[in-house]
Amino acid sequence: MSDRKDIELIAELVPPGARVLDLGCGRGELLALLRDRRGCSGYGIEIDDANVLACEQRGVNVIQLNLEEGLALFEDQSFDVVLQLDTLQHLRNTETMLRETARIGRTGIVSFPNFAHWPNRLHVAAGRMPVTRVLPYQWYDTPNIRVGTYADFEVLARKDGLHILDSFGIQEGRVVRRWPNLLASVAVFKFERS
């Protein structure tokens, strides 16, 4: 993911002037966009050296941390929006991180590859794990250690007491609101603690 168009679609979910925390901020594109176009401020968390450097070169506030070590650094409800784009599926403690997102942010936004997108279903129906543009890895070398679907996330959100404010799929840079679990390769959820 992390396509420019996807990032712009997700940026529209963030209120202008919001204080944001971007978990797994990559090279800082989203933070720079939110800063330049929507007047937002905040920080990105990133583990990778090259990405941290890219953020520093962009003039984006970046904190080099391993998300798996937790987010004790951040106080409850200290950010307007906590984003977790294309990050969830790389984390061992997905559920903990989701709860942390809801603890730190007044609203949370997550995006992740939707495993139930129809081409993936065809791959599995044919007896093979899917290899697509959004899921480009072989089963044995994928960094996506948590593969879930749009529908799965709705169940997890309910279980963890998260109130979904908005949700949609993204396919080829377009918002998909009709049958997103089937028709979108990327799932996006905006939620708050209920």
Partner 1 sequence: MFATDMSPSAASPPRSAHALDDVQPKSMHFGEPLPLTSGSRLADYALVYETYGTLAPDRSNAVLVCHALNAGHHAAGTYGGDPTTQGWWDNLIGPGKPLDTERFFVISINNPGSCFGSTGPMHPNPDPAAHGRRYGADFPVVTVEDWVDAQARLIDALGITQLAAVIGGSLGGMQALSWALRYPTRLRHCIAVATAPNLSAQNIAFNEVARRAIITDPDFHGGHFYEHDVVPRRGLRVARMIGHITYLSDDAMETKFGRYTQEAALGYSTQNIEFRIEGYLRHQGDKFSEYFDANTYLLITRALDYFDPARAHGGDLTATFATACCRFLLVSFTTDWRFAPARSREIVKALVDNRLDLGYAEIAAPHGHDAFLLDDPRYHAVLRARFNAIAREGTAGALGLARPLAIVPATAAVGVAETSADGFGAPATDRARSPADLRRTPSADPAATELDSPVSRT
Determine how many CB atoms are found less than 10 A away from the CB of residue 125: 9
In the complex with partner 1, the residue whose CB is nearer, 106 or 123, is 106
In the complex with partner 1, the residue whose CB is nearer, 12 or 56, is 56
CB of 173 to partner 1, least distance (A): 27
Instruction: Classify residue 178 by burial, with Cβ atoms within 10 Å: 0-12, 13-18, 19+.
Output: exposed
Site of interaction with partner 1 (CB under 8 A): 19, 41, 43, 49-50, 52-53, 55-57, 59, 61-65, 73-75, 78
CB of 191 to partner 1, least distance (A): 23
In the complex with partner 1, the residue whose CB is nearer, 6 or 80, is 80
Q: Are strands 174-176 and 162-171 parallel, antiparallel or unpaired?
A: antiparallel
CB of 55 to partner 1, least distance (A): 7
In the complex with partner 1, the residue whose CB is nearer, 55 or 187, is 55
CB of 170 to partner 1, least distance (A): 29
CB of 42 to partner 1, least distance (A): 9
In the complex with partner 1, the residue whose CB is nearer, 19 or 121, is 19
